[in-house]
Amino acid sequence: MKILSDKALIPFLIGVLSLIWGSSYILMTIGLRSFTPYEVSAWRYVFALLAIAPFALRKLTQISRSDWPWIMVVTFVGTGFPGVIYPTAVQYVDSSVIGIINALTPLFTLCIGLAIFRLRLTLFKGLGVLLGLLGATLLISAGSPSDSDTTVSYALLAVLAPLCYGISTNVIKSKLGHLNPLAITMAMFIQLGLLGVVYLSWSPHWKPPMSDLTMGIDPTMHLQSIAAMMVLGGLGTSLALFLFYNLIQRTSAVAASTVTYMMPLVALFWGNMAGELIDGWHAVGMICIFAGIFLVNRKKTIKQG
């Protein structure tokens, strides 16, 4: 029995996911104070597994053998690879700009859906994605802290993550829509979480933060980094992906991916708190993003009314 209708629940899920994921880049920055990008990813997946396992372990029985190849695509292409890309890029590019780059996801989702999964394009969806892309482009132009080759190179690296998300979102909608979102999430993190444990067992930072100070790491900062990884894994990864898979099953892949249009607003908020300037171009970009979300979801709203 549904507590809320899809018409009310979809905007709620988009808002919650935007808040959670838009804050994840600042959490990665905190984690990088003590850990390497690979260690940040490993800690994230370990804590995600610990958070989801008590609620979803038994859901694995719902997954058939034919589902596992698609589960592995979603696991490694849609989560594992981006989970390494973003901590690497955020070392050289502001966290707010990384969040803005992620707004390219709906464009990749639409293009991949058209090319591979033969999804139908409507005028409103096409215009909405392009308008949102325009807004994201304006935000990238206004928010880039540097024009150096290093910054541009790592910003381009970060663009690969939305491409991965576009592939994953289409696979979930087209191939895994019959599965409980908890089952998909659990299947992903039992793979990534165990790989994270294996990797961390060889890492110099596997020990508790107070037990070994020979590497010159401040124990307080180390504890803050671990706390950030706990929040990133538990809320920003396992809970967020569970909510996102619910969203995909309730709407189209392209409409679900518009959650990434809202994330730059949250990322810019954290950037402003850190002293980054928000000017008129940011405002114009935000308006374009909101208009794009409206157009992409317009047809769905009419049907439900």
Give me the domain span that covers residue 12. Answer: 6-203+219-304
CA dist 158 and 88 (Å) reads: 9
Residue 208 domain-assigned (yes or no): no
Quick: pLDDT tens for 5-46: 667 788 888 889 988 988 898 899 889 988 889 999 999 999
Q: Are 268 and 100 in contact (CB under 8 A)?
A: yes
Residue 119 domain-assigned (yes or no): yes
Structure tokens at 238: 């396992």
Residue whose tokens read 């050289």: 92
Residue 287 domain-assigned (yes or no): yes
Model pLDDT, residue 138: 76
pLDDT of 216 > 60? The answer is: no
* C-alpha angle 43-49-53 in degrees, rounded to nearest 5: 160
Number of domains in the chain: 1
Q: Indicate the helix (H) or strand (E) that contains 53.
A: helix 37-56
Residue 93 domain-assigned (yes or no): yes
Model pLDDT, residue 276: 61
Q: Which amino acid is at 41?
A: S
Residue whose tokens read 């804050």: 23
Residue 110 CB neighbour total at 10 angstroms? 26
Residue 210 domain-assigned (yes or no): no
Query: 50-85: b or e for each residue (b if 16 or more CB lie within 10 Å)?
Result: ebbeeebeebeeebeeebeebbebbbbbbbbbbbeb
Model pLDDT, residue 221: 82
CA dist 232 and 24 (Å) reads: 6
Residue ranges of alpha helices (H) inside 216-304 are: 219-233, 240-250, 253-257, 259-273, 280-304
> What sign results for the dihedral spanned by CA atoms 263, 269, 275, 276?
positive
Residue 214 domain-assigned (yes or no): no
Q: Which amino acid is at 298?
A: R
Residue 235 domain-assigned (yes or no): yes
User: Is residue 124 packed enough to be buried (19+ CB in 10 Å), middle (13-18) or exposed (0-12)?
Assistant: middle
Least confident residue range of 67-81, 91-105, 217-231, 270-284: 270-284
The more confidently predicted of residues 208 and 21 is 21
Quick: pLDDT tens for 231-267: 999 999 999 999 998 888 888 777 777 787 778 778 7
Model pLDDT, residue 206: 56
Q: How far is CA 240 from CA 17, 52, 99, 194, 198, in A?
A: 6, 11, 15, 20, 24
The pTM score is 0.79
Residue 209 domain-assigned (yes or no): no
